Amino acid sequence: MSTTPPPHGLQPLAALGSGPLYREAKRELQRLVEGGRYGPGDTLPSEPVIARALGVSIGTLRKAVDELVHENVLVRRQGKGTFVALHNDARFMFQFFHVEPREEFPVADELRAREYPQVECVGFLRARADDTEASALRIKPGDAVVRIDNRLSLSGRAVVHDHIAIAAQTFKGLTEKRFLERPSTIYTLYQTDYGITVLRARERARATAAGRETSRILGVAMGAPVLEVHRVALTFGDKPVEYRISTVNTASHDYVSLLAKR
């Protein structure tokens, strides 16, 4: 019998309740990640060690890990192990940035060298949540929010205006200086400074006409056709952490989404 101690914080599933074993295993691993026991970039114990600690088979454990990998909570690296997902530029480009130059004969995504957008903050202020922001963030109208406006450019051309609202209570102490000095993407800032990992986003897109603010920020004519994408970014438990309106100048760029069958 192995004398290897169980991974810190893991509990045998028999003590946790009923339900499909792989779902229980998934919830237990997610609990440790959400609680910070294993942080972004940390390596998880090997699958045999975790399986023994939980009292499940390797097959059951792998099914749980597969779902967490699919949901962007964990990342598998061949020959290295399983890690807690870490936000970086590559993940942002793959999962959350969908704007690309229009091509007459588009190449396959895996062959494309995608351009990372240049991001310029053009507005940062504290305000009170309006009804739409409050509903999206599940806070009360009038609660304190931070509003951020970014201009995103590709090849020197302004393409996207991001208008972002986040709850001030969730991101205590966030200042314009700290936001401007962030090491990478805004989602990296959420993760490194506040322990908040954006796992997925719910989006709605609609065609509209450029208003005064979009005209100023993107340099397009008032009334020009643009695409407006409303996004609610979600963390564990589908808790909303950010409401974003991305206005895209579609004159020479498209909003591209890759759909995969699970």
Q: Are residues 101 and 77 in the same domain?
A: no
Q: What is the CATH number of the domain that holds 151?
A: 3.40.1410.10
Q: What is the CATH number of the domain that holds 31?
A: 1.10.10.10
Total domain count, the chain? 2
pLDDT, tens digit, for every residue of 60-107?
999 999 988 887 788 888 888 888 887 766 665 557 788 888 875 555
Q: Are residues 234 and 169 in the same domain?
A: yes
pLDDT, tens digit, for every residue of 128-175?
999 999 999 999 999 999 999 999 999 999 999 999 999 999 999 999
Q: Are residues 112 and 57 in the same domain?
A: no
Q: Are residues 203 and 108 in the same domain?
A: yes
pLDDT, mean over the chain: 85
The domain boundary, picked from 65, 84, 103, lies at 84
pTM equals: 0.79
Inter-residue contact 155 to 213 (CB < 8 Å): no
**Angle 53-58-60 from CA coordinates, rounded to 5°:** 95
pLDDT at 74: 86
Domain-located, residue 3: no
Q: Are residues 191 and 121 in the same domain?
A: yes
Domain-located, residue 45: yes
The 8-class DSSP code of residue 33 comes to H
Domain-located, residue 262: no
Inter-residue contact 83 to 43 (CB < 8 Å): yes
The domain boundary, picked from 64, 84, 104, lies at 84
Give the structural domain span for 30: 13-84
Provide the angle, in degrees to the nearest 10, between the axes of the packed helices 47-54 and 58-70: 110
Inter-residue contact 29 to 23 (CB < 8 Å): no
Q: Are residues 105 and 25 in the same domain?
A: no
Cα-based torsion angle of the residue sequence 164, 165, 167, 173 in order, rounded to the nearest 10 degrees: 50
The domain boundary, picked from 84, 100, 130, lies at 84
Q: Are residues 123 and 218 in the same domain?
A: yes
pLDDT at 109: 52
Q: Are residues 98 and 75 in the same domain?
A: no
Q: Are residues 135 and 206 in the same domain?
A: yes
Domain-located, residue 8: no
Weakest-pLDDT range from 152-156, 182-186, 239-243: 182-186
